[in-house]
């Protein structure tokens, strides 16, 4: 795994590219990024769900989730970038789901929500840049209600050795242009969630051969796991 960029630098990068993020990410992934969002919302979100879109960016996933959750549902858009959230607010203002959406800003490695707050927690391409993806996964787990669902899409390595070698060489070049790489690299977070007791109910590899995505949905145990009991409660931080 490549070493993550500094969190302050990441905020600057995403603030700088915010207005072109949707086009840029879609272009370099041949629109497979949107396919990942659609899969997660379809497999994880149900009517009336309280949803956290963690690393909401410009709101593409959250808007889909709000539509699926329906009039009795609610979606919280959470992101570290003011500029990305500002664009998300502009996009949602033009939709019929705007009344179901709230916005919060902060660090996804230290979520400002109480334990067991959400029926569904989604993370689409927001784990790839963070310096501690395992800690991020534990935070998603913490704020998900027992029996709730966690849906994640992130960059992964190509399975074919030759393709992986080629992808590594290309990334060696792109990594030196943060406004293009966006600090994204291949990560693994499903093992962390499975160690916490989650059960995988859906998983699929999608995307272009050089830069594939891994998309999965897990269910949090209905009763706290032994690990979950060790997580510190953060009551009073809402």
Number of residues in the chain:
238
CATH number of the domain residue 204 falls in:
3.40.50.150
Q: Give me the number of domains the chain comprises.
A: 1
CB 72 within 8 A of CB 48: yes
**How many CB atoms are located within 10 Å of the residue 160 CB?**
11
**Is 1 inside a domain boundary?**
no
pLDDT at 237: 41
- The per-residue pLDDT for range 165-212, each reduced to its tens digit, is 998 998 888 888 989 999 999 999 999 999 999 999 999 999 998 889
**Quick check: 132 pLDDT over 90?**
yes
What is the Cα Rg of the chain in Å? 17
Q: What is residue 227's predicted lDDT score, i.e. its pLDDT? A: 45
Q: Taking residues 131-158, report their average pLDDT.
A: 97
129 inside domain: yes
Q: Compute the average pLDDT of residues 211-218.
A: 96
Residue 237 maps to a domain? no
Sheet hosting strand 199-207, strand order edge to edge: 101-105, 74-79, 50-54, 118-124, 144-155, 212-219, 199-207
Domain range holding 203? Answer: 7-222
Average pLDDT, the chain: 92
* CA–CA gap between residue 27 and residue 29 (Å, rounded): 6
Packed helices 82-93 and 60-69: angle between N→C axes, nearest 10 degrees: 40
Does 96 reside within a domain? yes
In a domain, 184, yes or no: yes
The dihedral over CA atoms of 160, 192, 218, 203, expressed in degrees to the nearest 10, equals 0
Q: What is the pLDDT of residues 73-127, one digit of tens each?
A: 999 999 999 999 999 999 999 999 999 999 999 999 999 999 999 999 999 999 9
**Residues 172-183 pLDDT 10s:** 888 889 899 999
| Model confidence at 52: pLDDT above 90 | yes
Any domain includes 235: no
Residue 104 lies in a domain: yes
* Residue 229 located in a structural domain: no
């Amino acid at each position: 795994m490549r070493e993550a960029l500094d969190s302050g630098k990441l905020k600057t990068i995403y603030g700088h590219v915010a207005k072109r993020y949707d086009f840029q990410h879609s272009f370099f992934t041949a629109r497979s990024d949107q396919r990942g969002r659609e899969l997660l919302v379809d497999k994880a979100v149900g009517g009336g769900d309280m949803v956290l879109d963690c690393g909401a960016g410009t709101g593409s996933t959250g808007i889909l989730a709000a539509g699926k959750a329906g009039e009795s549902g609610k979606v919280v858009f959470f992101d570290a970038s003011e500029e990305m959230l500002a664009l998300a607010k502009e996009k949602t203002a033009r939709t019929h789901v705007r009344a179901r959406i709230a916005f919060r800003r902060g660090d996804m490695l230290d979520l400002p929500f109480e334990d067991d707050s959400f029926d569904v927690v989604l993370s689409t391409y927001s784990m790839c840049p963070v310096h501690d993806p395992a800690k991020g996964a534990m935070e998603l787990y913490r704020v998900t209600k027992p029996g709730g669902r966690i849906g994640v899409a992130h960059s992964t390595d190509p399975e074919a050795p030759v393709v992986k070698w080629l992808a590594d060489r290309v990334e060696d070049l792109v990594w030196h242009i943060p406004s293009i790489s966006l600090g994204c690299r291949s990560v693994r977070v499903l093992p962390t969630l499975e160690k916490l007791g989650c059960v995988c109910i859906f998983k699929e590899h999608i995307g272009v051969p050089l830069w594939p995505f891994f998309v999965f949905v897990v269910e949090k145990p209905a009763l706290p796991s032994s690990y979950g009991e060790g997580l510190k409660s953060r009551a009073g931080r809402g």
